Structure 1
């Protein structure tokens, strides 16, 4: 099975550079104005909406030189519609995911919180509008590359170094944490109210470690355990996707599945499709549904139960020669626009992950992990971070792996038992590491519980954020 950059990204979670004491707080302001360059889910420009404001915040490129060169962070705000409690800052995940477009698109999903809070998000440094990491224009070449091809991985890393060399040492979770405190101060808040999802749970947990007395009401949904090793991360996450695929196949069969009469047959059908497009890609207009794109499309659809019917239809269609559905899901996952350009997700994610981790696995170790994951779940064999980070031009740091929020206000951690990307066991581990965590368990499927459709999870989280009342110990919410 081929190991591609896109496949490896599905096995990547997180882990930052620059070991130092937190910088002294600095108060500055943001000049807010109606957003003029938002991009919608169809990657097309969104008309200006006076209720959605954008702004910039200057922060140090290098926190060791706070009076030196500055970069600008892009922020977005939706002001509270009712009696205002303060600001609630979101990070929606990644690493490498932007918050400006995401909050603008998703704000209605947080309407219950938007009555009392200014909803705020940002593009972290190195992402989209905030001093973006770029690695050249031909990302299609790299995203279809075989990670066993050490020369290709090396070429990608060297190209990133040439294009973004000055920035690369200064991205990552440690520096994003200091940025987060600058955002808090610029918003005029004494403490930070924060909602982090997926990678955002790691960023929030490390903020609570560095700034425990600045923690307000914190929710960490789809929690990450930042202490896992390269090998552990790959195996645990592939196991999570295996579970999600089995749940999809069981549900598909129960409803009359076009992909097979039983769960084993559904898996066999997907494997047959991957084998077919590996030898003969399916034409989709002027493009092709390759092995890489088909695999990425399948795995992307496992993030949310709502996408399962689309996955069934898209695999069935691809077997009949129509690969547009899987290709569309792969493009959406990787941030590829209709014109062939990309968001910075597929470059930012490598820059952040490689600087957030000292591990530089050898080719032999990467191959070993690949073989282990192939045996566990053939649809998603993954060598993870190994090959690219081995050639990364900037050294990594394990500072942000050390989580201990002792002395902070309570932090609500939410974990889903059917979460493929951040498996449930990580929620319990992060809760324990924080020392101040309160765990909420969601019994359902999908990546992230708050937006899963669970009224129970939403009620517990909203009650905490709006009133300060913590969920009961060992809260358990049924599947939606």
Structure 2
């Protein structure tokens, strides 16, 4: 299942930004990519790969967003061979040039999310950080306009996302496997050059080249969701190059894919429980149930009914059980979107599935014109290149009871997602990433107790895996995926204090 770092981006496609497909080329003229100069220009309008829309609006005060392309080796084992382009975006620091620290590089997660699209959508949230940093983000290799992975076309993806992802019998299992093999085969056919080179270790090496090309002695970094895994891998490979770094919405680096999916099942179930409790505890009546259990029972019945008989969604498509489950999951990424879930459920109970389908579309990277970004293709390609285990249908069937116990609603959905890398063209690298980083500067690790996609326990395990004296844990008692963008003053004060002034909070600090 996709784990987009920030749901708001998916729901505001007009803020998504630019993209041009990048092909392979030879290296820089002098053969040393560290000496290349970036040609910063006004950002173009988004391509289909990044979701369409208009060029990013300037920040308050008229500060423009600028885009450039950095050359990096296609294959890091052949650093002087063919290159690809990595798309970058920046907004220059606003404060006193003498107090400028350097560049602050963001990765917003996925994997498969476009940083070039995401940063402008949230640039205003980082106004304080921009006083001492250039805000910089990028499309990781395989994503957006950085040599994007291409698999199926829009019509094929419509079919792909209408499939039954929670099979109940052997026929449906075979159909799911056949459809997955067709998708994976299209990726191999359409993206043979880039597929072997989209591992997180490759992107971490791109970031170190980026640091040098941007002129920074240290890498100052803000990673969210999968961006925390990328940051941990970078710290492992280049511990002496780590500057001030923050990990928010932390991926557990100790888990294999099965354990990670099981943790997500528990996380999304917790978020659903919290949503139901919140709805039924309000002064006004909850329109989708009398008690928290009633809310969940009615949702379960809706999904069971949709399995037998889908309802109209976004014409001409129908809202299926799978699309509804996907849409519900999408809305649980942020408490700000619980109201949309309530409204979507109300309409679905009356036979109208449009809102839940729009939520599902946003998860899948489909815009209102029926065009898909490449987030699904990139997500599958990066995960399958990183993750060594390959699960069979027999494996999933044996694990289903455990997943259902973790979440009656999301268990089947997440368990069957484990077959997505079966028969993938590229072998996976490891059971889980290595993030041990002895000698690194302190890294602030922020965990949210109500996070559905990256459960809170992952923050403590990241701290332990980074090693003694590196990870500094900060807990936020809140809801949603991530903590900094919750606008919690305690969290933002701790993060800003570290990034701007180098003040390391006491480990174990709690914000609520």
Instruction: Identify the TM-score tier after normalising by the shorter chain.
Output: over 0.9
* Partner residue, 1:258: 287
Distance (whole Å) between structure 1 residues aligned to residue 474 and residue 335 of structure 2: 20
Is 1:310 the equivalent of 2:340? yes
Show the 5 A alignment for 1:54-93: 54-83=67-96, 84-93=100-109
Task: Output one character per residue of 1:439-466: Cα deviation in whole Å (capped at 9) or x when no partner.
Answer: 0000111100000121110000001000
Structure 1 unaligned blocks of 5 or more: 1-7, 13-23
Of the candidates 177, 186, 192, which is equivalent to residue 159 of structure 1? Answer: 186
- Report the CA distance shift for 1:67/1:385 in structure 2 as closer, same or farther (over 3 A): farther
Does the 8 Å CA contact 1:174/1:400 hold for their aligned counterparts?
no
Q: Deviations over 1:4-24 (max 9, x none)?
A: xxxx33599xxxxxxxxxxx9
The residue number in structure 2 matching 1:136 is 152
Q: Post-superposition shift, 1:308?
A: 1.0
- In structure 2, the CA distance between the partners of 1:427 and 1:25, relative to structure 1 (3 Å rule), is farther
The answer for the alignment partner of 1:414 in structure 2 is: 446
Report runs of 4+ in structure 1 exceeding 6 Å deviation: 39-42
Q: Does the alignment pair 1:392 with 2:421?
A: no
What displacement does 1:390 show?
1.4
Choose which of 35, 40, 57 in structure 2 pairs with 1:32.
40
Question: Alignment length, in residue pairs?
Answer: 460
Q: Is residue 175 of structure 2 the alignment partner of residue 145 of structure 1?
A: no
Equivalent position to 2:301, from 269, 272, 275? 272
Whether contact under 8 Å (1:236, 1:423) holds in the other structure is yes
Q: Which moved more, 1:95-104 or 1:274-283?
A: 274-283
Classify the secondary structure of the residue corresponding to 1:9.
coil
CA contact 1:79–1:119 (8 Å) conserved in 2: yes
Provide the residue aligned with 2:18 in structure 1: none
User: Whole-Å Cα distance in 2 between the matches of residues 108 and 11 of structure 1?
Assistant: 20
Match of 1:207 in 2: 234
Tell me, in whole angstroms, the C-alpha distance in 1 between the residues paired with 2:333 and 2:343.
16
Consecutive unaligned residues in structure 2, runs of 5 or more: 6-31, 166-172
Aligned residues of 1:103 and 1:121 also touching (Cα < 8 A): yes
User: Quick one: distance in 2 between partners of 1:183 and 1:216?
Assistant: 14
The question of whether the paired residues in 2 share the 8 Å contact of 1:39 and 1:101 is answered with no
Query: For 1:330, what is the secondary structure of its paired residue?
Result: helix
Structure 2 counterparts to residues 325-474 of structure 1, below 5 A: 325-381=355-411, 382-383=414-415, 385-398=417-430, 401-435=433-467, 436-474=470-508
Higher mean C-alpha deviation, range 46-55 or range 451-460: 46-55
**In structure 2, distance between residues paired with 1:76 and 1:249:** 40
**Residue aligned with 1:457, SS:** helix
Alpha-carbon spacing, 1:355–1:229, altered in 2? closer, same or farther (3 Å): same
2:216 to 189, 199, 203: 189
For residues 317 and 162 of structure 2, the distance between their equivalents in structure 1, rounded to whole angstroms, comes to: 13
Q: Output the aligned Cα RMSD.
A: 2.0
Q: Which residue of 2 aligns with 1:9?
A: 2
Distance 1:410 1:422 in 2: 21
| Partner SS state of residue 329, structure 1 | helix
Please report the TM-score for the alignment, with normalisation by the length of structure 1.
0.92
Using the TM superposition, give the Cα deviation of residue 236 of structure 1 relative to its aligned residue in structure 2, in angstroms: 1.3
Q: Give the match's secondary structure for 1:219.
A: strand
Identify which of structures 1 and 2 has the higher relative contact order when contacts are C-alpha pairs closer than 8 Å and 6+ apart. Answer: 1
Indicate conservation of the 8 Å contact 2:51/2:366, yes or no: no
**Conservation of the 8 A alpha-carbon contact between 1:222 and 1:449:** yes
Residue from 289, 311, 314 that aligns with 1:282 = 311
1:66 and 1:114 map into 2 onto residues whose CA distance is 33
